Structure 1
Amino acid sequence: MEKEQYLGVSVSPLTYDEIIQDVEQRIREGRQSTIIAVNPEKVITANRDPLVKDLINQSTYQIPDGVGILIASKLKGGNIQERVTGVDMMERLLQFAAQENHSVFLYGAKEGVVSEAKKKIEERFHGIHIAGYENGYVSDHEALIEKINASGATLLFVALGSPRQELWIQEHMPHLNVKVFQGVGGSLDVFSGNVKRAPSLFRKLGLEWLYRLLKEPKRFKRQLALPSFLFKVIVKR
Structure 2
Amino acid sequence: MTAANARPHVHGPSSSTDWQQRVAHAFSRAAPRYARLAEAQRAMGERLWSRLPDRAQHILDLGCGPGHWSVRLAGRYHKGGRVIGLDLAPGMLEEAHQRHGHRAHWLCADAAALPLPDAGLDLVFSNLALQWCPDLEAVLAELHRVLRPGGRALINTLMPGTLAEVSKAWSRPSQPAALLPFHASDHHHRAARLAGFSRIGVGATTQRFHYPDLAAVMSSIKGVGAQAARGAGLTRADLARATRRYEALREPAGLPVTYHLLTLELER
**Same fold by TM-score greater than 0.5:** no
Asked which structure has the greater CA Rg, the reply is 2
Q: Give the structure, 1 or 2, with the largest relative contact order (CA under 8 Å, sep 6 or more).
A: 2
**Higher helix fraction (1 or 2):** 1
TM-score (norm 2): 0.31
In terms of fraction of residues, the more strand-rich structure is 2
TM-score for the superposition, normalised by structure 1:
0.34
